[in-house]
A and B are shown apart, each in its own frame.
Chain A
Amino acid sequence: MVLKVFFPSCCATAESGLLIGRWIPEQNSAVVLAVVHFPFIPGQVKQYLSEVQRVTQVNMCVLGSWSNSKQEKEEVLDKFLEDLSTIFSHEPWIQLSKEGDSKFWSCCIFQKYPSSPKEHEFILVYYDQRKVMLSQLHPTDSLTTSADHKGNDASELGAVFDTVAKSKVLFMTDRYDDGPIKLTHWQSEGVEASIIVELMKQASVPVCVLLTFLLSLVSSVCKSRVLKFWPLSFIWSKLSTCEQLGHRLEHLQIISSNRKAQNQTQLMRKANIFVSLLIDVALGILLMSWLYRENRIGQLADTLIPVADHIAKELQDLLQWLMGVPAGLKMNRALDQVLGRFFLYHIHLWISYIHLMSPFIEMILWYVGLSACLGLTVALSILSDIIALLTFHIYCFYVYGARLYCLKIYGLSSLWRLFRGKKWNVLRQRVDSCSYDLDQLFIGTLLFTILLFLLPTTALYYLVFTLLRLLVVVVQGLIHLLVDLIDSLPLYSVILRLCRSYRLAASVKFRVLEQKPGKPLRLLMQINPLSYGSVVQTYRLTSYACYPKDSWSSLCKKLFVGELIYPWKHKEEKQD
């Protein structure tokens, strides 16, 4: 029978007394939490333990006796300690004793009704009480499913960590208290606290109340009916800035809520959101201070119109090239001219519009740049929206080209069926053979030939504008990816893993200390921290990223057929 005793390393130099802690019978292990010193009144000890048990919900009891004698073993003390086992009845009664400065302790068990005649073997595991108390164990996936089963299936280490973490109340009494019980544990030299932390905790309550009030005002304004009319609501849904602002509003609401975080996960989530907002706003203010210095806004506005002009000129050159002999292909002259002139007129309209707006650009940019103080993510979303607005004509051309091409493809496929003598049966949703009249066949074949020979021209226009549109989509996608990265990176957890790595524990590691034959096995339990990858994965904030809606094969199919593609789909918000 192997008996495991988890002993806190801070109590190794404590005076003789009683061991209190928790006994886990399923795993035959005893977790020692503190040492009660002489003199004490057994009735008061029992009362104190029952009080602590009621508050912490941990099954605490007196586990045994601890004797730390500087001189030779005293017979009287031994008898006294054995008598104590009759007062605090606990099966089995553990007796640990240390002589002088020896590293090797002796451990024995006193059982009133010895259940098994076999020799007991002892394993003494030293643990750092403060680190284990503050640490959070992250079991691997195979254990999380069994976390629901209590009892035998529960992880032994999980039980140990749980016991120490829940016994915070026990560690609040230090030796300067005037109570009847004198304890030794990691905080018995005096409870340490930071005045700054306490002041911040006191100040956070009114700040949270104020923030909640302001946020409720803002959200009621946003939800007002005025902004819900059709053109406005359509615009809000298309602009990524509004989405990003909505997300940040939600985050602020989570932080400023009055409810205390229920468990560790919620606390980490709040902390991560807070740090992410802080960094975001700091970067945004940095960007703003850089933009508004040396009249950079004016310079930006001055370069914006020439850039738009340049893009329009490039597009015009491209269309002239398409109207000529592009890449050596011979186009249909008439259709080519029609399409080319149509798109050229569009570009002319767009350029006139931009020139109309040019006096106001600087002012608009100046005010829009102020919103960068809300955060770098908001600034990036605005940038993405500006790109979308500036390349609106490319989007229009893409839609025209795609619609034309799509019509052509559908017409061709239907007439190809006619060419072969088949028909699409709408009722049965399949292709059936059909006998056509001669004039139907004649007209059909004529139309089919016309469409077929006009296909290369349309296809080329479609190809060119689809490529341009994809380029713009990729640029916007990259910006959104960056925004999502800033939004969802759990910075607080990463910094915690860097500075206080024992707080995030993946598991433990044991080190075998010096042994002496005949004495119990001595092990040191240390905390094995989580790897950075698992930290990011576990504590990742919900991301509102845009993910590709279609797989590559369906995307290619859509491109071939001419369906309009909207490659980025906004991920639905994950509920906690």
Chain B
Amino acid sequence: MEEGMYRAVSGGRIALQRRQYSASCREFSVRCPRLQLRSLSAATCSVWLAAYGLFVLSQNSMVLSAAIFITLIGLIVYLHFVKIDQESLLVIGSLGIQMTSSYASGKENTTFIEMSQVKDVVINEAIYMQKVIYYLCILLQDPREPHGVSEVVPLFQAVLQIPARRIICEERKPSVGWFPHSCFLVQPLEELIHC
């Protein structure tokens, strides 16, 4: 099991963990930065200060209870639907690829793509704000057209600029080079598992 610390697009520190269970099974998991106590208290204080200000103006105590409800419900919604704690990619040779995202409240969202549907795994370039980021995505086979691509599924959605280069490039043999400006870098799936 190997671990490395990198920096995400948003600027927070993320940790990439690689595990190999067997010759045909590997897992890559990315741990996102945790919820900071600082930002949580800042948000809560600002909401309550605003509510208190409204209370002083309107003298209606419903404003205070409403503020408490809003804070609680907002926090629950944020933890359950927005804040992703960990994303992992499990590659099982000849069965398929499974992506799991686990949220801060414990909820887990899993998607499994069978190997027969996967055409290839590529690194794709995208322009995000003022810089270019690289992200890993899976190309799905179009059943009607053998050479067509029906869907592009990006991996590690929460942490867009994952260490795609790290996952693939550190594993590549030193004899083959890697050009950072190429649009598509097609990496055979077997190499992803066996490298």
Residues of chain A contacted by B22 (CB below 8 angstroms):
121, 515, 520-521
Residues of chain A contacted by B150 (CB below 8 angstroms):
142
The verdict on A507 contacting B143 (CB below 8 Å), with A4-B95, A512-B25, A521-B24 known, is: no
Task: Report how far A156 CA is from B115 CA in the complex, Å.
Answer: 9
Task: Report how far A123 CA is from B114 CA in the complex, Å.
Answer: 15
Tell whether A265 is near chain B: CB-to-CB under 8 Å.
no
Task: Report how far A455 CA is from B25 CA in the complex, Å.
Answer: 80
The verdict on A523 contacting B92 (CB below 8 Å), with A509-B112, A528-B110 known, is: yes
Task: Report how far A113 CA is from B111 CA in the complex, Å.
Answer: 39
Are A521 and B21 in touch, CB under 8 angstroms? yes
The verdict on A142 contacting B94 (CB below 8 Å), with A121-B22, A521-B22 known, is: no
Q: When A and B form their complex, which 6 residue pairs have the shortest distance between CB atoms, in order from nearest?
A: A146-B143, A509-B110, A521-B22, A2-B94, A507-B112, A142-B150
Q: Which positions 519-566 of chain A face chain B at CB distance < 8 Å?
A: 520-521, 523, 528
Q: Which positions 20-57 of chain A face chain B at CB distance < 8 Å?
A: 27-28
Task: Report how far A510 CA is from B93 CA in the complex, Å.
Answer: 13
The verdict on A515 contacting B95 (CB below 8 Å), with A143-B143, A528-B110 known, is: no
Task: Specify the chain A residue showing the minimal Cβ separation from B113.
Answer: A507
Q: Which positions 16-60 of chain B face chain A at CB distance < 8 Å?
A: 21-25, 27
Tell whether A155 is near chain B: CB-to-CB under 8 Å.
yes
Residues of chain B contacted by A156 (CB below 8 angstroms):
95, 114-116
The number of residues on chain A lying at the interface, defined by a beta carbon within 8 Å of a beta carbon of chain B, is: 27
Tell whether A153 is near chain B: CB-to-CB under 8 Å.
yes
The verdict on A28 contacting B112 (CB below 8 Å), with A2-B24, A145-B143, A515-B22 known, is: no
Are B117 and A521 in touch, CB under 8 angstroms? no
The verdict on A123 contacting B92 (CB below 8 Å), with A142-B151, A512-B27 known, is: yes
Task: Report how far A145 CA is from B148 CA in the complex, Å.
Answer: 15
Tell whether A364 is near chain B: CB-to-CB under 8 Å.
no
Cross-chain contact of A515 among B21, B142, B151 (Cβ < 8 A): B21
Task: Report how far A153 CA is from B25 CA in the complex, Å.
Answer: 23
The verdict on A153 contacting B116 (CB below 8 Å), with A121-B22, A121-B23, A521-B25 known, is: yes
Task: Report how far A520 CA is from B92 CA in the complex, Å.
Answer: 13
Are B24 and A512 in touch, CB under 8 angstroms? no
Query: Residues of A with Cβ closer than 8 Å to B?
Result: 2, 4, 27-28, 121, 123, 125, 142-143, 145-146, 149, 152-153, 155-157, 507-510, 512, 515, 520-521, 523, 528
Residues of chain A contacted by B111 (CB below 8 angstroms):
507
Query: Residues of B with Cβ closer than 8 Å to A?
Result: 21-25, 27, 90, 92-95, 98, 100, 110-112, 114-117, 140, 142-144, 150-151
Are B98 and A510 in touch, CB under 8 angstroms? yes
Are A510 and B143 in touch, CB under 8 angstroms? no
Residues of chain A contacted by B110 (CB below 8 angstroms):
507, 509, 528
Task: Specify the chain A residue showing the minimal Cβ separation from B93.
Answer: A2
Task: Specify the chain A residue showing the minimal Cβ separation from B141.
Answer: A142
Task: Report how far A27 CA is from B143 CA in the complex, Å.
Answer: 17
Are B143 and A142 in touch, CB under 8 angstroms? yes
Task: Specify the chain A residue showing the minimal Cβ separation from B144.
Answer: A145
Shortest CB-to-CB span from A521 to chain B, Å, is 4
Cross-chain contact of A4 among B94, B100, B117 (Cβ < 8 A): B94
Shortest CB-to-CB span from A29 to chain B, Å, is 9
19 residue pairs of the A-B complex, CB under 8 angstroms, read A2-B94, A28-B94, A121-B23, A123-B92, A142-B142, A142-B151, A145-B144, A155-B116, A156-B95, A509-B98, A509-B110, A510-B98, A512-B21, A515-B21, A520-B22, A521-B25, A521-B92, A523-B92, A528-B112
Residues of chain A contacted by B144 (CB below 8 angstroms):
145
Shortest CB-to-CB span from B152 to chain A, Å, is 12
Task: Report how far A28 CA is from B151 CA in the complex, Å.
Answer: 27
Residues of chain A contacted by B151 (CB below 8 angstroms):
142
Task: Report how far A521 CA is from B151 CA in the complex, Å.
Answer: 30
The verdict on A510 contacting B23 (CB below 8 Å), with A156-B114, A156-B116 known, is: no
